[in-house]
Amino acid sequence: MLPGAKSAITLPLLFLIALLYLPTDLFAGKLHAADKFILVKPIVITAYYHPASSSPDGIESITIPLKRVGHLFLIEARIDDVVGNFVFDTGSSKLVLNKTYFRKYIAVDEENGGGMTGATDGVGRTSVRSLEVSGMKFSNLSADVTSLGHIENRRGVKILGLMGLSLLKQMEIVIDLNHNEIHLFRLDKKGNRMGAKGNRHFDLVQEVEEFQNILLVKAVIGGKSLDFCLDSGAESNVLSSYSSKSVMRTVTIIKRSDLVGVASGQADVLYGMMNDFSLGGRRFPTMKTIITSMDRMSKSYGRVIDGMLGYDFFCQGEICINLVRNEMGITFSKSTDK
């Protein structure tokens, strides 16, 4: 048994979607049975939580470079003596390690979890001595251990794991995918940036709800208010196939595909364009989306989740997340600013 307090928490293990690049001839409004998507579904388990015993004290701001592989963005980090790529994933609450490289770390028996396409392989739990990222060092962290081989195989890159938000809750996170960077700013108790950097003015400020370790924002499509979870690790937006007719009428269907999950099964999905997405009273440009069932995910959390906001949302500009204030600020890029 690992030390620490035992608590039942919902781990949104990676709403991670690996999306193929689509050839331009698919955008003709017809359905095609072709490419496959990869999705890792959230799993509800009982975990042992270890707070970080070492944090980046004295550091007021940090810029972390991102590596781009398709629509997937990676951070280089060190776990104990192992250095490699981690996906920065706002859809995951904690640290997740790839079983391929950390099989010997598993200290608690594995459990099976449910995915959108069926039952997953095992999820083990362990602790790591240290995590280092761009000069920040954390120690004595808990982590989940599961297979991420399907993501590696799809993208042809070695991935040691996923890095969630739990380590950075006291810092403001600015995700700038257009410049392949993440900026971190230390906050005071009121959620203000410390030091000379000061606070910024954003084009849009929206309330963020932290619910069972996922981040939710309310958006409007077709006049309906919908709950979307924020997932920087997702390579596409996702919209529930059970959305109302008024919502679905605003979506242009492009093609049909398969969803391949961490489980062994597959699910049929549609691919389309969201033409009427608004956040904080501001209408966004048309964004790509996958359309599939969110039923299993909603049942896992005990509330309806209408979709996920991934790459196509985060590339709209600089996305700033402040969990002390429970706010998200957006500074739109010139190409999307209206």
Cα 75 to Cα 68, 88, 225, distances in angstroms: 9, 7, 34
Domain over 5-22+42-172+180-189 is classified CATH 3.40.50.300:
no
Cα separation, 262 vs 99, in Å, equals 13
Cα separation, 63 vs 66, in Å, equals 10
Cα separation, 51 vs 94, in Å, equals 11
What pLDDT was estimated at residue 50?
A: 36
Cα separation, 14 vs 299, in Å, equals 16
Q: Where are the alpha helices (DSSP H) in the chain?
A: 99-102, 149-155, 245-248, 295-301, 311-314
Residues 6+ apart with CB under 8 A from 206: 217, 218, 279, 280, 327, 328, 329, 330
Cα separation, 35 vs 28, in Å, equals 16
Plot region of 260 (φ>0 → left; ψ -120 to 50 → alpha; else → beta):
beta
What pLDDT was estimated at residue 326?
A: 94
Tell me which residue of 50, 59, 333 sits closest to 172, measured CA to CA: 59
pTM for this prediction:
0.78
What pLDDT was estimated at residue 196?
A: 65
What pLDDT was estimated at residue 109?
A: 58
Q: How many CB atoms lie within 10 A of CB 114?
A: 17
* Residue ranges per structural domain of the chain: 5-22+42-172+180-189, 204-332
What pLDDT was estimated at residue 291?
A: 94
Tell me which residue of 14, 300, 18 sits closest to 153, measured CA to CA: 18
What pLDDT was estimated at residue 136?
A: 87
* Dihedral angle over CA of 113, 114, 115, 116, nearest 10: 180
* CATH class held by domain 204-332: mainly beta
Asked if the domains 5-22+42-172+180-189 and 204-332 are classified in one and the same CATH topology, the answer is: yes
Cα separation, 99 vs 169, in Å, equals 26
What pLDDT was estimated at residue 32?
A: 35
Cα separation, 241 vs 175, in Å, equals 28
Q: How many CB atoms lie within 10 A of CB 212?
A: 16
User: In a structure prediction context, what are the per-residue pLDDT tens digits for the chain, which is 338 residues long?
Assistant: 333 333 333 334 433 433 333 332 322 332 333 344 444 333 322 223 333 433 455 578 899 999 999 888 999 999 998 999 999 888 877 789 999 999 888 766 555 444 444 444 567 888 889 999 988 888 888 899 988 888 888 888 999 999 988 778 889 999 999 999 999 999 999 999 987 677 788 999 999 999 887 899 999 999 999 999 999 988 899 999 999 999 999 999 998 865 544 344 455 689 999 999 999 999 999 999 999 999 988 888 889 999 999 999 999 999 999 999 999 999 999 766 54
Ordered DSSP codes for 90-151: TT-SSEEEEHHHHGGG--EEEEEEEETTEEEEEEEEEEEEEEEETTEEEEEEEEEEE--HHH
Angle at 200 between CA 197 and CA 203, to 5 degrees: 155
Structure tokens at 220: 């409007």
φ/ψ (deg, to 5) at 313: -85, -50
What pLDDT was estimated at residue 302?
A: 87
User: What single-letter DSSP state applies at residue 193?
Assistant: B
What pLDDT was estimated at residue 231?
A: 92
CB of 120 closer than 8 Å to CB of 262: yes
